[in-house]
Structure 1
Amino acid sequence: MRQWILKVHPADNVLVALTDLKPGEEVTYEGTTYKPSEFIPAKHKFAIDTLATGADIIMYGVLVGKAQHQIAAGGLLTTGNVKHAANSFMSEGHQYSWKQPDSSKFADRTFNGFHRADGSVGTANYWLIIPMVFCENRNVEVLQEALVKPLGYGRKKSYELKAQNLINKIKAGGSIDEVLFTEIEPENTVAGNARLFPNVDGIKFLNHSGGCGGIRQDSVTLCGLLAGYITHPNVAGATVLSLGCQNAQVSILEEEIKKRDPDFKKPLYILDQQKTGTEADLLDTAIRQTLAGLMQANQNTRKPAPLNKLTIGLECGGSDGFSGISANPAIGYTSDLLVSLGGSVILSEFPELCGVEQNIIDRCIDSEDAKRFTSLIRTYSQRAEEAGSGFDMNPSPGNIKDGLITDAIKSAGAAKKGGTSPVVDVLDYPEKVSRPGLNLLCTPGNDVESTTAEVGSGANIVLFTTGLGTPTGNPIAPVIKIASNTKLYNRMNDIIDINTGSIIEGDETIEQAGERILDYVIKVASGEIEISAVKHGQDDFIPWKRGVSL
């Protein structure tokens, strides 16, 4: 049944408007009637009772702000009358018990994936071409031009055709308003050119701006991230281009690969331009070796695998006031289901755990993990403050406009992505997931940096919730976009895959949505569904430079 307001937690002293509420309009929740004193836009919050100046504002059962001045009962919470505040926390946790969800209907399910020598299973099969330093980006682009379309991985560029129609009209002296376009959907192959290697999903190019300059630790971290991609279950092998003199030396990359896969057996071709000589020789060798690697990669085919071979990254971006009560709790339940089945999940975005740190600490199985989480998040917060910022500056203008007016409100809702299962490991960027269960990974809240990191740590699928809409994807892992509200899903369904607005509308429970999402994940992992980000070639890849980004 459709409700008009929601009290997220019994201890809350604010209510969420699920639709626009007029001043004086009476609305009822669980037998109690409330009357907003002013217009309350959907997704925003209003006070249950009068809040005095300095009063705590509680939502999700935690402190999310302080009243800057008195807020009348039924009054709208805004950035003008509320300031960020969050609970303090200690590194010591409390005893935690977890009630596992009923996952019996998924107990015998499998997905069809690509099995690797190290025992991991990929949801896709890609070849990588990677520069060790930004100086090699142009050579990588040349290889992209030389290989993608001839091998059948190009897509029809409908907008080029549309632009050409407009240009021809202008040349003929006509009006561009007279041009009518016929939709031309992107295709998986260039017309008349089928894939030469049908079992290889594509060649992906990880251009970046790092590898030299900065501090040496930046290069070591970058090598760790690149090693995470090379050893990733969705990757068959890689071609690596090195200039030779950069800080990110090949020897560091090789050491990082061994950390993640001591018995590494994938085809890996590393070329040093300063040793090879001419650009022509470098590119000729790279093309020959890449084609040889693709022939090997094409021999791998999809085979059944248990769901415990899935590692799901949990991400949110362009969040709104519904994200924390629909999409995020829904994938939180999906997370709990997968954990109960023996799979792994990754919760990252440390600036968006502000205010719920103690809850996270209490869920850590190992006291050392609790201490490490405490150290990582405090150090991160301190560095942000030293740079003239802070976690309280995390919400974007879009977040604030749609009801996430403090970082603690945003964070308390964002943390719902992690479900309720115990924390089995705490990882620092760019460490690899090695334990089944809920893993914490230190990353910024920046959508692409965090998604890039989760995949580098082993996520072979990412669940990405959004309330405002975003096209974010990843070169090698499917990023499934999940709308928090039906209006967004209907408006941007070319880039959104799943709608959880049904929860807001009362047509579906969080648990039902979570099960529906896991069923969808299994189909994506098996190659049965091509998600929007993959369809559009949304290959976002941004390494995180520590201390710069929230």
Structure 2
Amino acid sequence: MLQSSKNYNGPLIRLNPNDNVLIAREPLTIGHQVALDGESVRLRAQVAAGHKVAARRIAAGEPIRKYDTVIGVAARDIEPGDHVHTHNITLVDFDRDPGFGLDVKPVDYVAPEQRATFRGIVRPDGRVATRNFIGIMASVNCSATVIRHIADYFTPERLRDYPNVDGVVAFAQTSGCGMSSPSEHFDVLRRTIAGYARHPNLGGVLIVGLGCERNQVGDLLDSQGLKTGKAVHALVMQNTGGTRATIEAGIEAVQAMLPVANDIVRTPVPVSHLKIGLECGGSDGFSGITANPALGAAMDLLVRHGGTAILSETPEIHGVEYMLTRRAVSPEVGQKLLDRLAWWERYTRGQNGQFNGVVGPGNQQGGLANIFEKSLGSAMKGGTTPLQAVYEYAEPIDRAGFVFMDSPGYDPVAVTGQIASGANLICFTTGRGSMFGSKPAPTLKLASNTPMFTRLEEDMDINCGLVIDGERSIEEMGQDIFDLIVRAASGERTKSELLGLGDNEFVPWHMGIVS
């Protein structure tokens, strides 16, 4: 792993003494003289920042090691100073010993009376919120336009009398009918909607359906144990009188919930009430050097204070899953993670998807050659504490500490599942500059490098490129992130909130056929 005392003054970064590739700290031109293992070597290609350079001769078929981890094999002989990327790396799968529990270390928990606090919103049933929205859910795409019209009615001017309400937000979605039911896809959709309806960050909920869809509102409520009342309302368009009548009835229902939702105060509560969803997108060659390990350090702090860190994006641990199974608190927890990966192997068989090796164009441009290399950085977000549990997508998370929730790597889908599982804040690392926000749980965006942070500062919340710049260690950056999390959980607006993002990022996982 990256050492906090690394000196990044030179043009190339060595992450581990056993590595046979180095990382370009800055753009390097062909012919540039660099020191490789004590010898001056001329670069044989132009190399972009974050990309890899061969530290020595690598024979065809020889493993390529980064962080002393195999990320592929040389497709042909590679000479010192060569650019090492997709053109000369081949992804070769290999057996990995899961080593269940071998790296489990006891957590040095902070005493309850000494734990950090944030100013949270305590609901009557004891749940703790970081934001206070009223949410409108669509049981089916056919009611999506109606719920948006209801939400749009509640302009800042009309909410002026309710200063403690963060907004009225419509969670439209594109499924709910034309799908197999019963099915895993059907169950996931209902579980996701219910997870949002129960979320502590929603002070009131309105669920709107059409009436003839497969995902019937009444069955949805009954199957998920949701009951209508002061804080939960339901409407069915075909019973209410159509589009215009349902919009009017929905506005009336929200108006009735606003005074109750507004009647809250923020009070100091332990950060053990925080559940942080961990996400990365638009990654680059610096993500696994700065933002991801720094976020991991922050999550180690959070776990020590009794909080919960939720790692997801199952395709993006493919190839390094042993880093997590070795931290599993039991063989059963480790095996559940392997079972989810086996499911993904079946699910993606024959497809040109990320799980099978191909990362997105932005990842490749940023220096990541394949899914093993991306996974290596992605897994670092989870820190070093024991893996306490593994959950399915949108399954309620009932264990504190570091946990894993199965999801695709696609950012909106993964974050939707994390929020449905109970995440009340999201930390999103990016090297290319993802413009992402989420509701009702806000997103903090962590930039992996200073040039991108400077270019996109209006969207980025914190610059983890300071690690590469030599201004912060991983541990110091982790503390900075932890402090920012506490402030954001207490109500400080994130950059994505200031920009108004998050209304269109509710994207439940579509798993099955459309018929």
Which residue of 2 is the match for residue 536 of structure 1? 499
Bigger drift between 121-130 and 285-294 goes to 285-294
What is the aligned counterpart of 2:284 among 300, 320, 326? Answer: 320
Per-residue CA deviations over 1:258-279 (Å, capped at 9, x if unaligned) read 3xx8x99871001112222343
Name the CA distance, whole Å, in 2 between partners of 1:105 and 1:342: 8
Q: Which range is displaced more, 454-463 or 381-390?
A: 381-390
Counterpart position of 2:91: 84
Give the equivalent residue in structure 1 for 2:177.
212
Q: 1:33 to 1:546 in 2, by over 3 A?
A: farther
> In the alignment, what sits opposite 1:397?
361
Deviation at 1:386, TM superposition (A): 3.7
Q: Which amino acid aligns with 1:125?
A: N
Number of equivalenced pairs: 501
Query: How far does residue 25 in structure 1 lie from its aligned partner after superposition?
Result: 4.3
- TM-score norm. by structure 1 comes to 0.86
Q: State the one-letter code of the partner of 2:460.
A: I
Shift of 1:26: 4.7
Aligned residue type for 1:250: V
Counterparts of 1:22 and 1:276 in 2: how far apart (Å)? 68
Paired residues of 2:101 and 2:329 also in contact (CA < 8 A): no
- The 1-side partners of 2:172 and 2:304 are apart by 37
- Whether the 8 Å CA contact 1:427–1:441 is kept in 2: the answer is yes
Question: What CA distance in whole angstroms lies between the structure 2 residues aligned with 1:516 and 1:353?
Answer: 26
Distance apart, 1:250 and its partner CA: 2.3
Q: Tell me if the contact between 1:313 and 1:451 (Cα under 8 Å) persists in the aligned partners.
A: yes
Greater shift, 99-108 or 535-544, is seen at 99-108
The 1:36/1:514 distance shift into structure 2, 3 A limit, reads farther
Q: Which amino acid aligns with 2:211?
A: G
**2:3 paired residue number:** none
Aligned position for 2:41: 35
Unpaired segments ≥5 residues, structure 1: 153-194
Partner AA of 1:405 in structure 2: A
Q: Which range is displaced more, 364-373 or 304-313? A: 364-373
**Partner deviation per Cα, 1:143-176 (whole Å, 9 max, x = no partner):** 1232235524xxxxxxxxxxxxxxxxxxxxxxxx
Matches of 1:437 and 1:84, distance apart in 2: 33
Q: Partner of 2:57 in structure 1?
A: 50
TM-superposition CA deviations, 1:192-226 (whole Å, max 9, x none): xxx12111111111011011112222232111101
Are residue 115 (structure 1) and residue 122 (structure 2) matched? yes
**Residue 5 (str. 1) matches residue 12 (str. 2):** yes
Match of residue 443 from structure 1:
407
Counterpart-to-counterpart distance in 1, 2:130 and 2:313 = 24
Map of 1:247 onto structure 2:
214
Q: Is residue 229 from structure 1 mapped to residue 204 from structure 2 by the alignment?
A: no
- Percent identity over paired residues: 34
**Partners of 2:113 and 2:452 in 1: how far apart?**
30
> CA–CA distance in 1 between the matches of 2:249 and 2:472?
56
Residue matched to 1:282: 246
Q: Taking structure 1 as reference, are residues 349 and 368 closer, same or farther at Cα in structure 2, changes over 3 Å only?
A: same
2:308 corresponds in structure 1 to 344
1:130 aligns with 2:93: no
Distance in structure 2 (CA, Å) of the matches to 1:86 and 1:411: 13
Q: Is the 8 A contact 1:96 1:362 kept in 2?
A: yes
In 2 relative to 1, CA 86–339 (structure 1 residues): closer, same or farther, beyond 3 Å?
farther
Report the TM-score when normalising by structure 2. Answer: 0.92
Equivalent AA in structure 1 for residue 497 of structure 2:
V
Matched, 1:61 2:68: yes
- The code of the aligned residue for 1:197 comes to Y
Q: 1:331 aligns with which of 289, 295, 300?
A: 295
Tell me the equivalent position of 1:144: 151
Partners of 1:265 and 1:511 in 2: CA distance: 47
Closer/same/farther in 2, CA of residues 57 and 532 from structure 1, 3 Å limit: same
Shift of 1:318: 0.7
**CA contact under 8 A between 1:483 and 1:501: conserved in structure 2?**
yes
| Structure 2 counterparts to residues 147-546 of structure 1, below 5 A | 147-152=154-159, 195-216=160-181, 217=183, 218-255=185-222, 257-258=224-225, 267-389=231-353, 391-527=355-491, 529-539=492-502, 540-546=505-511
- CA distance in 2 between partners of 1:101 and 1:19 (Å): 38
CA distance in 1, matches of 2:34, 2:103: 37
Distance 1:211 1:470 in 2: 29
Secondary structure at the aligned position of 1:365 is classed as: coil
Instruction: Return 415-424 or 14-23, whichever deviates more.
Output: 14-23
Kept in 1: contact 2:291–2:448 (CA 8 A): yes
- Structure 1 residue matching 2:83: 3-state secondary structure: coil
CA distance in structure 2 between the aligned counterparts of 1:389 and 1:25, rounded to whole angstroms: 36
Change (3 A) 1:123 1:64: same
Deviation beyond 6 Å, 4+ runs, structure 1: 101-106, 263-266
Instruction: Give the 3 Å change call, closer, same or farther, for CA 251–10 of structure 1 in structure 2.
Output: farther
Deviates more, 1:3-12 or 1:355-364: 3-12
